[in-house]
Amino acid sequence: MRVPVPEVLLPAGELGRVHFVGIGGAGLSAIARIMLQRGIAVSGSDGSDSPTLRSLREAGARVHLGHDADHLGDADTLVVSTAVRETNPEVVAATERGLRILPRSAALAAVMAGKRTVAVAGTHGKTTTTSLLTVALQAAGADPTYAVGGDLAQTGHNASDGTGDLFVAEADESDGAFLVYSPHAAIVTNVEADHLDNWGTEAAYQAAFEDFLERIDPDGFLVCCVDDPGAAALATEARRRGLEVVGVGESVTADLQAVDLTFEGSTSACTVVTAGAAGRAELGELRLQIPGRHYVLDALAALAVGLRLGYPFADLAAGLGSFTGTRRRMELKGEVGGVRVYDSYAHHPQEIAGDLQAARSVAGEGRVVVAFQPHLVSRTRVFGRGMGEALGAADEVVVLDVYLAREDPDPTVTGRLVAEAVPLPAERVAFVPDFDAVPGELVSRARPGDLVLTLGAGDVTRLGPVVLEQLARTVDG
């Protein structure tokens, strides 16, 4: 459901008791965790139990399974995400009682109040870049508050209330949330059409990023990856408006450039060069424990922010080098019988291409076997063919049916649309709409030395452990 953002945004301490509908989601759970650490009374509900809910309970939240009007208790404020329906009984009860109802964006803005925010935006790479920036700043001696769309491997959490004045936040454009924040600085990783169910046209989507420029503090700055045409165009527009811009990338036009990129197994490395008034200078080596060119560019953007904020290169680079990943971003789930199983969140053609490039590096001499679950009917309708074409970089492809999330099914838009666009021989591609049959299909295709990768923003993440179990039975048998 779409909830209007109030004209006056109250700081979190003035919201009273706060109840979250869908508290287990990545966005709401992060906000709830920060509020709990600040001593704010938090309750919430979700459809099923999860490690996230258990962790929030341990932190002091009153969490219910299922949705019921009684779960509101004595709440003063209700927070909902766009995935929640207007007919949700807790939403209906809150409306009848006249409670303050906030969208996720307004609730995040409430916990940002009083902090110097760095907002990380872009079509792809937001979660990883936000995580990298958080870890880099921590290594440099800062203690930022952070809110990320995934759990950091180092902390096991997607948020924490730091003691410093910085707030590092993932700024989501899917529903226009990033237009609610007023950051001191921002990163835009890339601008490529997505979420057209909300924006309607590619032009409207791009215009939203131009509107985002107006939200940035005029005395602050913007970091853009100028390798991406959309972000490069945004950087040009930002400079035209008088905003300080730091361009990053492999391009020779970048202010902070990555050169001599190398990829070996699950690691990546580059040399960082800066262009200034005195000419070009080498800052040093950046070595990462995560694979793939797109992750190098994400790290470079995080590095640029840290340097602009005044932190030393050596400390920031050490922090970036210690980063071991974010849950659901090329996350190793396990290995059985010489077959490694990874899981990643990629759901857009460009993201699929990036993760497959990384998977190819990790696989070495082995093959890449992919299970891909398209996410959203609207996205599959527009980008389904592009998804299939990107999957052609794998050796074996299994396509699941569309994960519906907040939309209703459309019999004309299924996973078959994606599978039929994969440019591989027919015997190397399968459309398997029966979710429970997918692990067996993957196991039958995988052999020792291969890398199995589950891709998608839906519940495809549940497949990894099942694949490992079935592989173990195969090996034992």
Domains of the chain: 12-102 (3.40.50.720), 114-322 (3.40.1190.10), 331-476 (3.90.190.20)
pLDDT of the residue at 276: 67
Residues that are catalytic: 126-127, 170
Q: Report residue 387 as tokens.
A: 């998804």
pLDDT in tens, the chain (477 residues): 788 889 899 999 999 999 999 999 888 999 999 999 999 999 999 988 888 899 999 999 999 999 999 999 999 999 998 878 899 999 999 999 999 999 999 999 999 999 999 999 998 888 889 999 999 999 999 999 999 987 887 777 899 999 999 999 999 887 788 899 999 999 999 988 665 566 668 888 889 999 999 999 999 999 999 999 999 999 999 999 999 999 999 999 999 999 999 988 788 899 999 986 667 899 999 999 888 888 899 999 999 999 999 999 999 999 999 987 666 667 889 999 899 999 988 888 888 988 898 888 888 889 999 999 998 888 898 889 999 999 999 999 999 999 987 778 888 999 999 999 999 999 999 999 999 999 999 999 999 999 999 999 888 989 999 999 999 888 765
pLDDT of the residue at 46: 92
